[in-house]
Amino acid sequence: MHKHQHLLPIFVASLCAAFALIDEVDGEYLIGVGSYDMTGPAAGVNMMGYANTDQNTAGIHFRLRARTFIVAESSQGARFAFVNLDAGMASQLVTIKVLQRLKTRFGDLYTQENLAISGTHTHAGPAGYLQYVVYSVTSLGFINQTFDAIVTAVEQSIIQAHNNLKPGSIFLNTGDVENAGINRSPSAYLFNPPEERARYTTNVDTTMTLLKLLDSAGNRSIGAFSWFATHGTSMSRENRLISGDNKGAAARFFEDWFTFSNNSLSTRNTKFSTIQNISTLRNKAQKIKATGGKPCGKTTSQGFKVRKNDGSRFVGAFCQSNVGDVTPNVLGAFCTDTGKPCDFNHSSCNGNDQLCVGRGPGYPDEILSTKIIGERQFEKAMELFSSATNPSSGKIDYRHAYINFTSIEVQLNESTVVKTCPAAVGASFAAGTTDGPGVFGFQQGDTEINEMWKRLRDLLKEPSQYQVDCQKPKPVLLSTGEMFVPYAWAPAILPIQILRLGNFVILSVPGEFTTMAGRRLREAVKETLINNGNGEFDNETHVVMAGLTNTYSQYIATFEEYKQQRYEAASTLYGPHTLSAYIQEFKKLAKAMATGEQLGGTGLSPPDLSSVQLSLLQDPLGDSPPPGKRFGDMQQDVAQPKGGSFKKGDKPSATFWSANPRYDLLIEGTFAVAEMLQGERWVPVYDDDDFCLYFKWNVTVDNSSLYGLATIEWEVPEDAASGVYRLRHFGSSKKTKDSPNEYFTGASSAFSVS
C-alpha cells in the first residue's frame, strides 16, 4: 500500500466537493499557479541559516522550488502575486531584480505594491543571495550562481502562473496542526503579561490556514497554499545536502500525493510492476552491467525527470508565518553530554550553550525528523483541502510602504513617544538557539559582554553612545546599523505590505515575529480593518502573517520578551520598540485599505547594492577524471546484497567519477535517477527531487590530484514495485575556462528489488 493510501477517501471526497462547489461559485477570480526549480550550487557553497562556516553544500536531498499563485479580478483588473520560496528568507536584492525583469515583460502589471516573495526558512539551501554584509560573512560574500537561480525561478514561476490565469474559485479553511512545533524560548514567552497569555491555550500558534485553488473551466484543483509557523530546522547544522526541510518535504508529499492519486495510481510505478519470479529478476539483473560514461546533451537529464514541468502540474506550497520562537524539534532540548534537559532560562548545559541541542521526532535521524514534521503539515493540509467549503469573495486590494526602521517615532500613548534604533544584535545572538547552538562563551539571556569581546567588537565598530542607550537592555555586540564598510551590514529601509483577497488578508513582514508578536500584529490590523471598513470587514475576516517576505531583517520580539534578551530578542534589530513600530505602521496601511485611500508613498526605497558585492568563493574543484577514466564511469558499482535482491528499506548506492555540480545546476533536470527495466526499456521512477533518492558529491585525492565523486543512494521505499533497477548519474564538466560545458551520463549495473 502507498504511504498515503489511507488518505485516498479524503481525496475522492475532495474532488466531489470541488465539483459541487464549482457549480455554486462561477469563477469569482482569474487564478493561475506556477512552479520552477531554484536549486542552487550543490558543492562547496555555504548554507544559509545556521551561520556555520563548516556547513557547505555536498549534494542534494531533494530540490528547491519557487511556487507562485496569482489572483486577479479580471485580465486588467486588480491582482496580486504571491511567491513561496524554498529558501531561508526573501532577499531585497532578489526582489529588486525580479521586479526589473517583470517590468520589462509585463510593464506595470506586477510591481513592489502587489508582489510578495516569501521564504519557507529552510536552513539547508545555498547562501550568498542577500545584499547586506552580516548575511554573507559565512558564505564568503555574494554567490552569483545562488542568486541567479533564485531570481530566474521566481521570474519563471510568475510567468507560468500568469500564463495559466483562468476563471476559478478560491476556498478558505483552517485547522490545528498537532505536534509540529514547540516554543524554543518558553522562558521569554512567560515575560508577556499573564492576562494576555491566558487568552491562549498554547505558547505557539497551531493554526494552519489554507487556500484551495480551483479552475472552474476545467473542473479541477490546481493548487493549495497554506500558512503555518514552524522553523525550517529539522535538518541540523551538520547537514550538507540541499533540502527544503520540513516545509519543502510537505510540498513534495502534497504534490506527489495529489498527482498520483489523481491518476488513480497507488504509486508512481504500479503500472510498471509485473509478476515475476524473484530468481528470474536476479538472473536478469546480473546480466546488465554498468554503461560507462557517455556524452549527452545539455537538456538530456530533463527528459529523465519523473515530474516534468510543463506548466500544468498541481502546486502545493507550505508558507511560513510568525515563526520566530517556534522549533520543529518537538521532543525538546537536551544536553548532549548528560542527556538531561537544558537550563530553562539560558538553554545551556552548565553554562555551555553548545551542548544544548533540540531533538526532532525522529531523533537521532534528522531526515526522519524532517519527514515526520513534513507529513504532519501535509496531512493536515490534505484534510483542510478536502473539507474546504468556505468560498472567498470580494475585492482584491493591496497596500505597500517602504519605512526607515532606524528612526521611527512611535506613539505609545497620548503622552509617550519612543523611537526605534539603528540595527544592532546583542550578545545572545552569538549564543544561537537550541536548533543551532552558536559560539562558546555566550548564553541566551546574556545582558553583559565581557571585555575581550568588547575589544574585538570595537575593532570592527564601536557602537555610539546613542546606540548603546537606545538598544537597552540589549548589550550591543555588533552595531550593524552603524557599519558601512565595505558596504551596509544591515538593512535600514524595509517593505511592509498588506494583500487582500475578499475577507482574507495577508501581512507581508520582512522578518521572524515571535508567536506573541505575531498575534499582536494580526489583532491590531484586524481591529483597524473592522473599525474603518464600513462593514466590509468583520469578525470573520481572516488575517495571516507571511514571514520572511520581500526582504530580511531578522527577528521581532515583544517589548516584554526583549527584556530577557534570549536569541530572538538579541536579534530584534531596531530596539525594544520594534514591534510597536510595526503595529503603528501596519495600522496605517490597514486604515488606508479599509477606507480606500491610496497612499502616496514615503519617498524611500532600499538601495541596490549589486555593484559593490564582494565574493571570495573559490572556483570549483574536480575538473577532470583520473587518467584512463571518463566522467560517468563507475568508481564503485552497486554492491549486490547477500540475498541477491534488495528489499524495502535497503540502500543500494553507486559512486561515479564526476565533475563539480557547480559547472551546471541542471535546473529542471536531475543529477540522479533510479531507473526500472520494463521490457527492453529503462524508465525513470525516482530522481533527485524525491525524498528517497540522495545525490552526494565530494572530492577525493589521488597522487596529489583532486577528483570529483558523485554518489547516488536510493532508500528503497515501501511502495517500490519489485523489479530490476539501476542508478543513473548526469553531470557537466569544463575542459578549460574558455570551453563550453560538456555533458555526460552513466548508469550502474542493474540490481533486483523484491
**DSSP type of residue 342:** P
> Using alpha carbons only, how large is the chain's radius of gyration in Å?
26
- 4 labeled binding residue: no
Enclosing H/E stretch for 451:
helix 451-460
Distance CA 752, CA 29 (A): 51
Residue 359, phi then psi, degrees to nearest 5:
-120, 130
* 3-class DSSP assignment, residue 506: strand
**DSSP type of residue 343:** P
Distance CA 750, CA 727 (A): 8
- Structure-block grid coordinates of residue 179: 505536534
- 121 labeled binding residue: yes
Expressed in angstroms, the distance from the first to the final Cα of the chain is: 15
Q: Are 384 and 67 in contact (CB under 8 A)?
A: no
Residue 657's beta-bridge partner residues?
A: 709
**DSSP type of residue 236:** -
Angle between helical axes of 92-106 and 144-163 (0-180°, round to 10): 40
Please give the single-letter amino acid code of residue 318: F
Q: Are 742 and 733 in contact (CB under 8 A)?
A: yes
Residue whose grid cell is 513592489 = 112
Distance CA 216, CA 32 (A): 12
- Structure-block grid coordinates of residue 330: 518537538
Angle between helical axes of 8-24 and 366-387 (0-180°, round to 10): 40
Q: Are 193 and 560 in contact (CB under 8 A)?
A: yes
Distance CA 392, CA 402 (A): 29
The string of DSSP letters for 279-319 reads: HHHHHHHHT------EEE-TTGGGGG-SS---S-S-EEEEE
Dihedral of alpha carbons 662, 667, 672, 677, sign: negative
Plot region of 61 (φ>0 → left; ψ -120 to 50 → alpha; else → beta): alpha
**DSSP type of residue 715:** -
Residue 567, phi then psi, degrees to nearest 5:
-55, -45
- Structure-block grid coordinates of residue 477: 555586540
Angle between helical axes of 578-595 and 515-532 (0-180°, round to 10): 30
Residue 445, phi then psi, degrees to nearest 5:
95, 0
Enclosing H/E stretch for 494:
strand 493-501
Q: How many CB atoms lie within 10 A of CB 416?
A: 8
- 577 labeled binding residue: no
- Structure-block grid coordinates of residue 581: 513600530
- 162 labeled binding residue: no
Q: Are 221 and 258 in contact (CB under 8 A)?
A: yes
Residue 133, phi then psi, degrees to nearest 5:
-60, -45
Cα diameter, the chain: 86
**Residue 489 burial (10 A CB sphere; 0-12, 13-18, 19+):** buried
Distance CA 359, CA 365 (A): 9
Residue 661's beta-bridge partner residues?
A: none
Please report, in range form, the residues annotated as the binding site for Zn(2+): 121, 231, 512, 555
Please report, in range form, the residues annotated as the binding site: 121, 231, 512, 555
